[in-house]
């Protein structure tokens, strides 16, 4: 029953609209809007909860407790923080490009939302089942670069500018190994449809057949969402807060929450591509598929947080060197080896 909880709700809604005499086209549109709104609410609430989770994880790793005053176990802490930030003024620097400056935080949630529309959360639980899903996801993920650049440029601050230069450099050089690493998986599946990729992992997760690809993907993905050890974009001990230096109030909060949304995205993508998505391991199907998806996603999110509270920050030139000299050749080699493996596989005729 739990397994089909969300699909049943969707079905119910569809029947309800049908019986009310709504034409099929409008029916579809309404349903899609409902799904997208549900995803938006999910992302926002999840981002809030992730901020708390991060603070708790950090607390326990640093021999302290973390927030525990607001609500039980500090559960309402971030809610209150956001409440405070909403009520604050958004200061706009005099020399800033006002349009860009204000547009950037407003747009920063668009790419995550659009990406999540294509990710299958559970069995038959995908808002948009695209046959070029993977391509779509990567295309949108790199869109964030422009938004950070907008914010950094619009602030008219040298620190912001340096930060946004770093964003662009970092994202361009890590996009490449990320996509190349996934190429191996695409070759194995023969499709870019996310649902089909998950279906191909019925017997064996791709993390087993493509371990190098998973490592490259995960490292590049952590770099993509600007998290430690690749958090040079913010690098608070060097360039203060990078592109967000001039932002205050809700403008800052949007960027802040967007960071958690992007952690969710990379974890969700890694889950989908390498960890079998919503597929239950070891035949443990009594746990609903969407719960499996979240479980795997949260394990990865925890790993990302673990990174942050363990590692120092890498330097700009080291980051570039690592991306171009190690990750890119390695992912190319992975594609090559996968190709040979597939050829041998076929030649043997298994």
Partner 1 sequence: MLRTETYTMNFGPQHPATHGVFQVVLTLDGEKIVKAEPVCGYLHRGIEKLAESRTYQQVIPYTDRMDYLASMLQNWGYVMAVEKLMGLEVPERAEYLRVISGELSRLASHVLATGVYALDVGGFTGFLLCFRERERMMDLLEELTGSRMTFSYARFGGVADDAPEGWLEKLDKLMDDMPGYIDEYDGLITGNEIFQARTKQVGGLSPETAIDYSLSGPVLRGSGINYDLRKAKPYSIYDRFDFEVPVGKNGDCFDRYFCRVREMRQSVRIIKQAIEQIKEIDGPIKGKVPKALKPPKGDAYAEIESSKGILGFYVVSDGTNKPHRVHVRRPSFINLGYLDEMSRGWLIADLVAILGSIDIVLGEVDC
Q: By CB under 8 A, is residue 87 in contact with partner 1?
A: no
245 binds partner 1 (CB under 8 A): no
- Contact range with partner 1 by CB under 8 A, out of 31-39, 42-50, 157-165, 270-278: 157-165
DSSP secondary structure string for all residues of 304-327: HHHHHTT--PPPHHHHHHIIIIII
Q: Which of 31, 103, 110, 240 binds partner 1 (CB under 8 A)?
A: 240
3-state secondary structure 27-68: HHHHHHHHHHHHHHHHHHHHHHHHHHHHHHHHHHHCCCCCCC
**Residue 146 interacts with partner 1 (CB under 8 A): yes or no:** no
* Residue 309 binds partner 1 (CB under 8 A): yes
Q: Is 168 in the site for partner 1 (CB under 8 A)?
A: no
Considering only residues 183, 197, 239, 250, which one is a binding residue for partner 1 as defined by CB under 8 A?
239
Give the Cα-Cα-Cα angle 150, 155, 161 (nearest 5 degrees): 75
**Using H for helix, E for strand and C for coil, what is the string for 60-103?**
HHCCCCCCCCCCHHHCCHHHHHHHHHHHCCCCCCCCCCHHHHHH
The answer to whether 315 contacts partner 1 (rule: CB under 8 A) is yes
Interacting positions 31-70 with partner 1 (CB under 8 A): 58, 61-64
Report CA 329 to chain centroid distance, whole Å.
Answer: 25
User: Of 205 and 322, which CB lies nearer to partner 1 in the complex structure?
Assistant: 322
Q: Does 310 bind partner 1 (CB under 8 A)?
A: yes
Token reading at 107: 């747009």
* 302 touching partner 1, by CB under 8 A: no
Please, which of residues 103-142 interact with partner 1 by CB under 8 A?
none
The only residue of 87, 202, 203, 237 in contact with partner 1, by rule CB under 8 A: 237
The radius of gyration of the chain from alpha carbons, rounded to an integer in Å, stands at 21
Least gap, CB of 176 to partner 1 (angstroms): 22
- What's the closest the beta carbon of residue 118 comes to partner 1, in angstroms? 34
Alpha-carbon distance of 10 to 3, in angstroms, equals: 13
Residue (168 or 240) nearer to partner 1, CB = 240
**Contact with partner 1 (CB under 8 A): which of 317, 348, 349, 350?**
317
Task: CB nearer to partner 1: give 148 or 159.
Answer: 159
Task: Give me the least distance between CB of 179 and partner 1, in Å please.
Answer: 25
Residues 6+ apart with CB under 8 A from 342: 187, 188
In the complex, the smallest distance separating the C-beta of residue 269 from partner 1, rounded to whole angstroms, is 25
**Beta-carbon neighbour count of residue 169 at 10 Å?**
17
Distance CA 183, CA 116 (A): 21
Structure tokens belonging to residue 286: 């009594």
Closest CB to partner 1 among residues 59, 249: 59
- Which residues, 6 or more positions from 31, have their beta carbon under 8 angstroms from its beta carbon? 10, 13, 14, 17
Least separation in angstroms between residue 56's CB and partner 1 is 14
> CA-to-CA distance for 272 and 206, rounded, in angstroms?
10
DSSP state of 205: -
Q: Which lies closer to partner 1 via its Cβ, residue 156 or residue 191?
A: 156
Contacts with partner 1, residue ranges (CB under 8 A): 58, 61-64, 158-159, 162, 228-229, 231-232, 235-240, 308-318
């Amino acid at each position: 029953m739990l397994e089909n909880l969300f699909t049943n709700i969707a079905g119910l809604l569809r029947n309800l609209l049908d019986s009310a005499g709504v034409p099929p086209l409008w029916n579809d549109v309404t349903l899609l809007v409902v799904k997208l709104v549900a995803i938006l609410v999910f992302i926002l609430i999840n981002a809030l909860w992730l901020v708390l989770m991060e603070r708790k994880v950090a607390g326990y790793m640093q021999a302290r407790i973390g927030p525990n005053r607001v609500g039980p176990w500090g559960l309402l802490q971030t809610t209150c923080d956001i409440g405070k930030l909403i009520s604050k003024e958004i200061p706009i620097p005099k020399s800033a490009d006002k349009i860009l400056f204000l547009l950037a935080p407003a747009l920063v949630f668009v790419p995550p939302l659009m990406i999540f529309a294509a990710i299958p959360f559970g069995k038959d639980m995908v808002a948009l089942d695209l046959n070029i899903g993977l391509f779509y996801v990567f295309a949108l993920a790199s869109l964030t670069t422009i938004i950070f650049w907008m914010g950094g440029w619009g602030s008219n601050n040298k620190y912001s500018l340096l930060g946004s230069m770093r964003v662009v450099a970092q994202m361009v050089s890590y996009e490449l190994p990320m996509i190349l690493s996934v190429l191996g998986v695409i070759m194995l599946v023969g499709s870019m449809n996310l649902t089909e990729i998950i279906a191909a992992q019925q017997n064996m997760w791709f993390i087993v057949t493509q371990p190098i690809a998973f490592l490259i993907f995960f490292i590049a993905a952590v770099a993509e969402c600007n998290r430690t050890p690749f958090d040079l974009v913010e690098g608070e001990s060097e360039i203060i807060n990078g592109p967000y230096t001039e932002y205050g109030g809700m403008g800052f909060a949007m960027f802040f929450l967007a960071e958690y949304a992007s952690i969710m995205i990379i974890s969700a993508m890694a889950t989908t591509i390498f960890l079998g998505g919503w597929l239950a391991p070891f035949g443990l199907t009594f746990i609903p598929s969407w719960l499996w998806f979240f479980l795997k996603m949260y394990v990865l999110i925890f790993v990302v947080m673990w990174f942050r509270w363990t590692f120092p920050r890498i330097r700009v030139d080291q980051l570039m060197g690592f991306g171009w000299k190690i990750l890119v050749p390695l992912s190319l080699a992975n594609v090559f080896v996968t190709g040979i493996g597939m050829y041998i596989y076929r030649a043997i005729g298994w």
